[in-house]
């Protein structure tokens, strides 16, 4: 456990950030999973799910929860999968 006042504050900040990042990451994973399921299922709300997933990924990247390159890669793959599903 931290002994110095500054180390105690740092520990509090870290805990708060960890909880926030965990929540953002979990929400992002859920939205992406729903979008993938919608693409595979061929439902009517694919565009809406894609939009939600992209927004969640971009927001997580802007907050520093995930790297920007990873967010871009995932968005690209989702759109690519949606286009493939739409074609067939």
Domain ranges, ordered by start, for the chain: 5-87
* Interval 21-56: pLDDT, tens: 999 999 999 999 999 999 998 778 899 999 999 999
Rg (CA), the chain: 17
pLDDT for residue 41: 87
The proportion of the chain whose per-residue pLDDT surpasses 90, expressed as a percent, equals: 88
> What is the value of pTM for the model shown?
0.87
- CA distance to 1, 25, 58, 74, per residue, from 10 (Å): 11, 22, 27, 32
pLDDT for residue 88: 75
Please say if the pLDDT value at position 86 is more than 80: yes
What number does CATH give the domain 5-87? 1.20.58.110
pLDDT for residue 44: 80
């Amino acid at each position: 456990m931290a002994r110095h006042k500054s180390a105690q504050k740092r520990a509090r900040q870290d805990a708060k950030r960890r909880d926030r990042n965990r929540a953002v990451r979990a929400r992002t994973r859920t939205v992406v999973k729903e979008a993938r399921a919608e693409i595979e299922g061929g439902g009517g709300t694919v565009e809406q799910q894609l939009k939600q997933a992209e927004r969640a990924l971009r927001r997580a990247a802007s907050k520093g929860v995930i790297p920007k390159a990873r967010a871009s890669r995932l968005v690209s793959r989702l759109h690519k999968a949606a286009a493939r599903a739409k074609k067939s």
